[in-house]
Amino acid sequence: MFVSLTEIFCQIDDFCNNFDSNLQHFFLNGPTKKRRKACAISLSEIMTIVILFHMSGYRTFKDFYLLCVCRELRPYFPKLLSYSRFVQVMEYALMPLTVFLNGIKGKETGVYYADSTPISVCHIRREKRHKVFKGLATKGKSSMGWFFGFKLHLVINNLGEIMACTLTKANTDDRKPVPTLVEMLQGWLFADKGYIGKEFWEKLKAQSIELFTKVKKNMQKKIMAPIHSFYLSKRGLIETVNDQLKNICQIEHTRHRKPANAFVNLVSGLIAYAFKPRKPSIKNNKLRKPMPALTSN
């Protein structure tokens, strides 16, 4: 279902070597120097372990680490830390994981889908006494009702590959982050009725992106080319991707005790999905690739 452990580690280790040599000079030093003992486990091993969790099928990271990593995978990671210590150092992998995710985006096909999905951090009835994400998480409403947490915005291509993503507060308008997400893309973007808006459509068109959505009941129906109607009818593809991210890669759960580790869990789950060799996609041999690039003129 996923690529091998060795292949994942080699890609991550090559990235970490390049990351350390090229990006360390951008980091700010603290006001005082402190003596710190070097961590026994490397950054590439930490990143590999947190990504493997989302491929393992385990429901909790503690069970995965103690029952799988410490027993079955110990020959691959000879200098393992204790579970409590590993949880402490996980947060140091957040920025490298984010940079790595940005470097493994999908292929530019010209056909893209946009959608958002809620990332709950607790049940909505416990929002007022929730403390872990106090000041970060907010209350929002989706098609499934009210939730407390964040909102994950995704743009994928017709091959099911993630092109861009961002995390916002739960009460953020779905349209707000889209222009930034599609900044480097050209072609057709298909979305639901929540993305309707004349100014929004014109803004995307100026970025060489043409938006297609279904119309609301009180709106006049638009004539659409057959190929556009076909791809719009397949908008459920991004819903399938969201479902796999939550139920297979487990990017969402309510057991977090630290915001940084929660974001590590989210980013590593997205990377785990990117490593899947078989993703949900749209395949139709009768249709040609539509690639008339739009211009702002």
Q: What's the CATH code, domain 111-255?
A: 3.30.420
pLDDT surpassing 70 at residue 198: yes
pLDDT surpassing 50 at residue 186: yes
Q: Cα separation of 47 and 9, whole Å?
A: 9
Report residue 64's pLDDT band, with 50, 70 and 90 as the boundaries: very high
Amino acid at 16: C
CA 8 from centre of chain: 18
Report residue 283's pLDDT band, with 50, 70 and 90 as the boundaries: confident
Overall average pLDDT of the 222-228 stretch: 86
Nearest to 92 by CA among 173, 161, 27: 27
Mean of the per-residue pLDDT values of the chain: 87
User: What residues does each domain of the chain span?
Assistant: 5-19+39-102, 111-255
| The pLDDT value given to residue 293 | 42
User: Are the beta carbons of 178 and 114 closer than 8 angstroms?
Assistant: yes
Overall average pLDDT of the 172-180 stretch: 94
| The pLDDT value given to residue 121 | 93
Segment holding 8, helix H or strand E = helix 5-23
| The pLDDT value given to residue 233 | 92
Kindly tell me the sign of the dihedral angle through the C-alpha atoms of 189, 192, 194, 197.
positive
Amino acid at 7: E
Beta-strand relationship, 209-212 and 162-169: unpaired
User: Are the beta carbons of 170 and 148 closer than 8 angstroms?
Assistant: yes
Q: Cα separation of 68 and 55, whole Å?
A: 12
**Least confident piece of the model among 219-228, 236-245, 258-267:** 219-228
Overall average pLDDT of the 35-51 stretch: 83
| The pLDDT value given to residue 297 | 35
Report residue 18's pLDDT band, with 50, 70 and 90 as the boundaries: confident
**Tokens 């452990």 map to which residue?**
5
**Least confident piece of the model among 34-38, 114-118, 128-132, 159-163:** 34-38
Nearest to 95 by CA among 272, 263, 269: 263
Report residue 292's pLDDT band, with 50, 70 and 90 as the boundaries: very low
pLDDT surpassing 90 at residue 30: no
Nearest to 211 by CA among 195, 196, 189, 179: 189
Overall average pLDDT of the 127-146 stretch: 90
Nearest to 150 by CA among 118, 104, 103, 112: 118
User: Are the beta carbons of 8 and 46 closer than 8 angstroms?
Assistant: no
pLDDT surpassing 70 at residue 33: no
